[in-house]
Amino acid sequence: MFEVLMFVEDDAQETFLKRLVGRLAGEAGVMLKVRVRIAQGGSGSVLNHLKSYAAAWKAGKEVLPAGLLVALDANCQGYTKRRDHLDSKAGELKHLVVHAIPDPHIERWLLLDSEAFKAVLGRGCKAPDEKCEKQRYKRLLAMAVQDAGIQPLLGGIEYAEELADKLNVQRVCDHDPSFNRFVQELRTWLNGLKHM
């Protein structure tokens, strides 16, 4: 069994990505244990923890897992800028990083497959366009859950695992370049594990 450590910004990223990674690992025939290293505090916390982890490894205080899944919302800064900043914090471990950089925010990924949304919540949703506005996709997710006749207790994130299970991965890859980048990078990494 291979281990991957997750460094993510919040509960939304943890819940959705942990389930999706598990699903895709199963589809690839890879036994994977996902351990969450950090899942709070936003991007600054993720980057600080990643930098500390890399330093601790270099000092011989950490054992390397098979990979590091690091998630940062693009926050309208673009994929390349966020990836490069993340990689600078990973230092010598950047070759182990699988990048999950939703552009602009993870909540948008949850709204991109109306059929999956309908399977989970009983009513489809409209795929949102891309706009850079803080909190926009959190509001849209909560509204889509309300439109399905359900009061979102956690803003809709409480359905993230079920959405990850029902998601048509190829459809979302075709619709969203940031999701496609993540899935392709994850699949390449998983395929590499099969040859170890």
The reported pLDDT for the residue numbered 194 is: 85
Ranges in the chain, pLDDT < 70: none
List Cα–Cα distances, 4 to 14, 40, 96, 141, 166, in angstroms: 13, 18, 9, 28, 23
Specify which residues 97 forms β-bridges with. 68
**pTM value > 0.75:** yes
The confidence score (pLDDT) of residue 76 equals 82
What are the boundaries of each domain within the chain? Answer: 2-106+173-193, 107-160
Q: Could you please state the CATH topology (level 3) that the domain comprising 2-106+173-193 is classified under.
A: Rossmann fold (3.40.50)
Question: How is residue 134 written in tokens?
Answer: 């803080």
Residue 60 confidence (pLDDT) = 95
